[in-house]
A and B are shown apart, each in its own frame.
Chain A
């Protein structure tokens, strides 16, 4: 118990961003301002409450495709000029699509904030798309899919496992989309999606950096404030998962696999869908069981038994409707994957029966609280923390009191969530194996080339 005292951090030091302001414009745009005056720069982000899980059935990938097309211009901005104007002003910009959210961000000197707010407000409602730009950009997203998925067997397996983990809910559909559906996405589908979801009353504006809440309020009124809200922007309720009855197993043989690897996902609730306190317990539980070199999995499988070259895991809890637990391991050379899997199962079973030690819990908690403080040093990470949280149903208080809620988790909570969610019936296990061809795969081709 004395140890627990030594490691505990003062809670007030974790509230690095408690000078945050939060307000709404009349048109429904939610605004969060996070002052950080160390450098004369700002991070400006707009988060839309829409993501790939809202793609129309049969038009998978449209949320992500639209994110690309948002750079193709408006009445005021010529196609492709958006990022160029940001760069000419010494700024950086990018965008990102998830299952539940789509966000656009710029980082600029503080005196260019008004400019980027005007530009982002403009494309929130005035996007103009030419067929020819849409067709070219569709080739780009297909190349993106080749890079991220088709060229990497681990990601092909991940995509298959996700599809199996969600039998009805659209989290099972890849964010990039299925290739055959991406190929037929067009301007019409994009515009339909845009008009339905892009509006001030379906967005959150986050500004972090060398500004005050009042400055941002004024600028926001002048820019975003002029936009009319569209009809209520509520996303359609997504299909709920049916009960899962049996473990699912997926084997993928691919000559490019390199080594035999095993991954397993378990369905689990997210912060937004969990009962009070469960998500916090899941976070700490997975830290103890699977995250990093001090985790149970790594110590048993890699350090002590040497059955695996690496092992680890995570809790993914940021989604709107669901989360998952993940564990993975790479088998040591010459060790059968079955052996490694049994060893992994023994670690999980032992944990469900005996739970964690107080020392492990303290260490895990301490490390998360510290990461919360480290995150406070970085305005992009702070902005992202608030954006992710709000778009996924958290309140500002939820976000800022996370370390305090971690303090409330006890050993019983940890053991209870482990027992409840390491449930084989709700799991998908994927095994990736180099097929027989591997030994002569890429390496040999290289050798042959050298001779010629």
Chain B
């Protein structure tokens, strides 16, 4: 790893070289570029393909939706390419297609992120479209009405999708009273209430330079990037106006809710509180979840539910660390008559893991996968940009890519066993089931 700081004019560049996977390989060089106007981006230069990927994010996702108007952030994410500046929606989209620029936006619970790609040769005109989308979205009434209709249609379809319903209901139970309990896309009622003023207000308070994080990968150097950052993001207001979000109470059951739906296969979501990203045990928990339910065919849940018993095609669990609360949550789909059995197997696997932890071999394999596969996240421009963005959002530091594997290696079997006891509450699961599960699923018993 080499570190060098350079200053060219007003452009500040901090350079960090990172080696991926195998020592001695060509290093990927991350430059931290700060524009004359004060916008900072992480840059990886690569001239292999004639294109540039830009990923960026702001603090403030669905948690910033006003009460009763859930779905505003998601609505905005569908509106930014629907007209901006002097270009009405059709003109904007035709221009975008002429330039072959790709642009998409996503509202998460805590963040609002954007994904942009352009061919190098169209950089100037394509980034002009991005600038307009972020700084001068039109929110024309006709476009607002059309996108609203599409969102409502999507929600209507979602009502009959057992997976979506199970997940929504799970969040409702787990985060009762907290903004995380609300669906990111909103509801039929709340979206109907949203008007163009709400969208504009959201953009004004969230799209600001103080919380902005930017990652750029591709055919561009730091000298060119500096002024470009100012062009795209420089017109945004300096300071955000976010409402403070309280810490969520860590979700804990036992709680079980069945939502009847006429489908042959039931879907269940199960889980409880998990570790936050900054928790000192996060990496140990990550390894633990890999062994338990995150490691596909290497995980116990897949082994026990799918491989040994054929009870499901899909079974997994994951850690979702949000900014104000974190969860361990899993998902399984099993034919109605066997759902009770699937859940019983899952619960007993959680119990076994909490009591005894993983074996030394399992932990070793988990480490081998997680360290060995890290490089697979860096093999396209947009994947690299995505990694660089999330490292910034989660505030893991410029050297994270270089130190991450060592952090995983440093976790001991004792660490994971301790974390298993602390994290997993087989008798405290919150479970939502959608379908027609047979065999009278009993309330979980306290042990």
Residues of chain A having any CB pair with chain B under 8 Å:
6-7, 9, 13, 16, 36-41, 71, 80, 83-84, 87-92, 107-112, 135-144, 146-147, 150-153, 209, 255-259, 292-294, 299, 302-303, 306, 309-310, 330, 332-333, 362-363, 366-367, 369-371, 373-374, 376-379, 441-443, 445-446, 449
Contacts and interface: CB of A to CB of B under 8 A. Distances in A.
Nearest to B44: A38
Contacts of A137: 310
Given A143-B310, A143-B312, A445-B259, A257 B90 contact: no
B306 A140 contact: yes
B210 interface: no
A259 B375 contact: no
A175 to B, nearest CB: 14
Contacts of A367: 97, 100
A253 to B, nearest CB: 13
Interface string B242-278: 0000000000000001111111110100000000000
A257 B263 CA distance: 12
Contact of A376 (B49, B257, B309): B49
Contacts of A362: 98
B293 interface: no
Contacts of A144: 313
A136 B305 CA distance: 11
A325 to B, nearest CB: 21
B262 A255 contact: yes
A218 to B, nearest CB: 20
Contact of B262 (A6, A13, A91, A441): A441
A256 B156 contact: no
Contacts of A333: 149, 152
A139, A306, A332, A362 — which one has the most chain B CB atoms within 10 A of its CB? A139
Given A293-B93, A445-B259, A90 B149 contact: no
Contacts of B308: 136
Given A90-B376, A378-B379, 8 more contacts: A36-B379, A39-B379, A109-B21, A137-B310, A258-B153, A293-B93, A310-B150, A332-B149
A131 to B, nearest CB: 13
Contact of B48 (A36, A40, A146): A36
Contacts of A71: 297
A84 B365 contact: yes
A111 B48 CA distance: 22
Interface residues of B, number: 77
4 closest Cβ pairs, A-B complex: A90-B372, A139-B310, A370-B100, A146-B265
B298 A16 contact: no
Interface in B21-76: 21-22, 25-26, 28, 46, 48-51
14 contacts: A39-B376, A40-B22, A40-B375, A41-B376, A71-B297, A87-B298, A92-B373, A107-B376, A108-B372, A143-B333, A146-B313, A256-B160, A373-B51, A374-B117
A259 B142 CA distance: 22
A310 B153 contact: yes
A294 B90 contact: yes
Contacts of B165: 442, 446
A80 B48 contact: no
A143 B162 contact: no
Interface in B120-177: 121, 142, 146, 149-150, 152-153, 156-157, 159-162, 165, 169
A363 B94 CA distance: 8
A143 B160 contact: no
A146 B335 contact: yes
Contacts of B310: 135-140, 143
A11 B297 CA distance: 44
B98 A363 contact: yes
Contacts of A38: 46, 48, 379
Given A91-B372, A257-B160, A303 B146 contact: yes
Contacts of A36: 48, 379
B259 to A, nearest CB: 5
B187 to A, nearest CB: 10
Contact of B334 (A13, A107, A143): A143
A89 B263 contact: no
Given A84-B297, A446-B259, A147 B314 contact: yes
Given A257-B160, A442-B159, A150 B369 contact: no
Interface in B77-100: 89-90, 93-94, 97-98, 100
A437 to B, nearest CB: 9
Contacts of B26: 37, 40
A310 B146 CA distance: 9
B317 interface: no
A344 B146 CA distance: 18
B386 interface: no
B295 A87 contact: yes
A17 B157 CA distance: 41
A7 B98 contact: yes
A90 B373 contact: yes
A89 B306 contact: no
B313 A140 contact: yes
A413 B258 CA distance: 56
Given A146-B335, A151-B265, A294-B97, A299 B365 contact: no
Nearest to A377: B49
A378 B297 contact: no
Given A88-B368, A109-B375, A367-B100, A256 B117 contact: no
A366 B94 CA distance: 12
Contacts of B160: 153, 255-258, 441-442
Contacts of A363: 94, 97-98
A146 B380 CA distance: 34
Contacts of A90: 21, 368-369, 371-376
A399 B160 CA distance: 41
Nearest to B261: A442
Contact of B102 (A110, A151, A374): A374
A90 B382 CA distance: 21
Contact of B365 (A88, A373, A443): A88
